[in-house]
Amino acid sequence: MNIHLGDIAPDFEADTTEGNINFHDWIGDGWAILFSHPADFTPVCTTELGETAKLKEEFDKRKCKIIAISVDSVEDHKAWLGDIEETQSCVVNFPIIGDEDKQISRLYDMLHPGEDDTSAVRSVFLIDPSKKVRMMLTYPKSAGRNFNEILRVLDSIQLTDGYKVATPANWSSGDDVIIVPSLSDEEAKEHFPEGWKTLKSYLRIVKQPNR
């Protein structure tokens, strides 16, 4: 199945390290990150799940749940948790889906074509409260993900959903933003009464409005 930005995230039922879930019900009325990892008891994945656990409070502040998935069993996930806790100095504080039959991995197109196995690649799906897919990232198996970047994109989407702005390259929360080109100067005065800096007619820089 090919998933595009703006699509409704496919729903599913699954067994996890924290019990059986219906995905849409589990998301509830907040945001969610679904991310796949190739396999349990592997080095890069061990660091990734540890890093995600350490950042969970940051995701919680943004009303965003986290859930991981691989094609291993829930029993294997549970056995692996001790290794993560020992080597990464943290407790895994989010559920991990068991997907031995690979149905969910196929549903989300997480299986890497051309690989000599059927493990999932490093995919990330950001899903909003209306269950729409708002961001997708896919890394090769050899490259660990930057989870601070995932937080940065979440911040950007939550900000730009609420205001007539876009975020520039390398933006971080608190930096200046860009007034969307669809807003005329007259309309912009209503939204940004303190003014902005015009570099070009289509490039107007303004302070982040919710700070």
Active site residues: 45
* Cα separation, 102 vs 184, whole angstroms: 49
Give which of 23, 156, 140, 79 is closest to 148, Cα–Cα.
Answer: 156
Identify the bridge partners of residue 190 per DSSP, sorted by sequence position.
Answer: none
Cβ atoms of 163 and 209 closer than 8 Å: yes
Burial 166-202 (b: 16+ CB within 10 A, else e): ebeeebeeeeebbbbeebeeeebeeebeeebeeeeee
Give which of 167, 166, 198, 194 is closest to 182, Cα–Cα.
Answer: 166
